[in-house]
Structure 1
Amino acid sequence: MGGVLLSTTTPLSSHNKEVSGLVRDFKSSLYGKVVSNQSCLRKNIITVHGTKGSGVVASVLERRVQNRETVIPDPDYRIPIVLLGFSGGLAYTNNLLPAAPVGLLGLLLLFQTTRVRFVFDNEALEVKVGQQLEDSGTNVFVGGKNRWKYSTFVNWEFWWPNFPILVYFKERQTKPEGQIHFFPVIFNGKQLYDVMVERAGPSKTSGPK
């Protein structure tokens, strides 16, 4: 009986050892895969937070810095009012011949002040019209769209800084040799000057006081 018991327990013990060994091997194998995956995960995390990740973050931050807000200077009615007042003075003194063109110019600028807007977006200056900021179409004098990238500006100036009447700028977008533009300052001169300095670089003239 004892011999039988011994003979039967020995295979069971051996079988248990084999099963235990298989379980250990399975756990070890499974654990190795988990560790391997965790190691890969750590490497990926380090890569994201390392050089490549820094490059991505720097790129995103650079885009945010470059995305400047759109600026639209307020309308300024001083020039058309001065012209209309001057025209009225000429008419009062019976100088009707010069009074007529001065008055017409004043009326034209008054109308343009109510509708024309300079829109400074992230990369370009664009002339738009109306309260809905509609496209102003093709430039009737030099052709092309009334939109010029700041990177194409050669130089610009105000005449005159203390009471700006004209803004001048030259750009190479319309023509490689450079195209000159003149616009009456029918906008807030200080706002216009500040945004021009910010987007197109410093001017040869001083800012309006």
Structure 2
Amino acid sequence: MESALLSTPQFLPSPNREVGGVLRNCQSSFYGNLTINRSFVGRDVSNHHRGSGIVASVVGKKVKTETVIPDPDYRIPVVLLGFAGGLVYTNNILPAAPVGLLGLLLLFQTTRVRFVFDDEALEVKIGEQLQEAGENVFVGGKNRWKYSTFLNWELWWPNFPILVYFKETQTKPEGQVHFFPVIFSGKQLYDVMVERAGPSKTSGPKQS
């Protein structure tokens, strides 16, 4: 499993291979705070939203989509920590340690890592101030991928999203695969991915 969330703050690239024949495009979002700045007939208008949105501004014939930052979702770290607690309760200390550490790491990353979907790319940023995440230490380059380079994406177990997958050609011409745990709203992630990167073959969360 690859995950910038597990590498603080970058996503880990997985081996360069495509997964099965079912996968078609995947990655998600974090903090649902949408910020848009619009200029219309000389007047500036600024809006702050939560969740996902569609059109931010129209200037002449150009349409600019607003920035989407999905809400954090703490379910995965809470489940892992609860499972670790159960293992401790039954005196299974050895397996409880790695499960608990993973839960704590994901809990920490859920509070700080943000997925920012702007009008042309998905970018990983850090904290409420949306600071730059820096260069990817595993494959190099910025943690920002244009939707136009996505070959496919998939959201796994959509009723309770666990993993997101996507493959892009920006990092490598032959395609680079990325995995990361869904520590943000799976429904918001799915909606913005469909809107920006096109539909996925099998993903479709029935629950938010």
- Regarding TM over 0.5, the answer is yes
2:181 pairs with 1:184: yes
Equivalent position of 1:146 in the other structure: 143
Structure 1 unmatched ranges of 5 or more:
1-58
Aligned residues: 149
SS across alignment from 2:61: helix
Work out whether 1:163 is the aligned partner of 2:160: yes
Q: Is residue 100 from structure 1 mapped to residue 97 from structure 2 by the alignment?
A: yes
For 1:34-113, what aligned pairs fall within 5 Å after superposition?
Answer: 61-63=60-62, 65=63, 67-113=64-110
Q: Which amino acid counterpart does residue 169 of structure 2 have in structure 1? A: R
Whether the aligned pair in 2 keeps the contact of 1:161 and 1:205 (CA below 8 Å) is no
What one-letter code is carried by the residue in structure 2 that aligns with 1:62? K
Map Cα deviations across residues 89-110 of structure 1 (whole Å, 9 max, x no partner): 0111111111000000000000
Task: Tell me if structure 1 keeps the 8 A contact 2:84–2:99.
Answer: yes
User: Structure 1: which amino acid aligns with 2:148?
Assistant: S
Distance (Å, rounded) in 2 between the aligned partners of 1:153 and 1:61: 29
Greater per-residue strand proportion: 2
- In structure 2, distance between residues paired with 1:61 and 1:205: 37
Counterparts of 1:98 and 1:138 in 2: how far apart (Å)? Answer: 33
Percentage identity across paired residues of the two chains:
85
Q: Is the 8 A contact 1:125 1:147 kept in 2?
A: yes
Task: Name the CA distance, whole Å, in 1 between partners of 2:202 and 2:138.
Answer: 26
Aligned residues of 1:84 and 1:103 also touching (Cα < 8 A): yes
Contact kept, 8 Å, 1:80 with 1:109, in 2: the verdict is yes
Name whichever of 122-131 and 135-144 sits farther off. Answer: 135-144
The runs of at least 4 consecutive aligned structure 1 residues that moved more than 6 Å come to none
Question: In the alignment, what sits opposite 1:128?
Answer: 125
TM-score by length of 2: 0.70
Query: Which amino acid in 2 is paired with 1:151?
Result: S
Q: Is the partner of 2:70 in helix, strand or coil?
A: coil
Paired with 1:82 and 1:148, the residues of 2 have a C-alpha distance of 30
1:183 deviates by: 1.0
- Distance, in Å, in 2 between the alignment partners of 1:61 and 1:85 is 53
CA contact (8 A) 2:156 2:203 kept: no
Larger RCO, structures 1/2 (Cα 8 Å, 6+ apart):
2
- RMSD between aligned residues: 1.2
2:139 counterpart SS class: coil
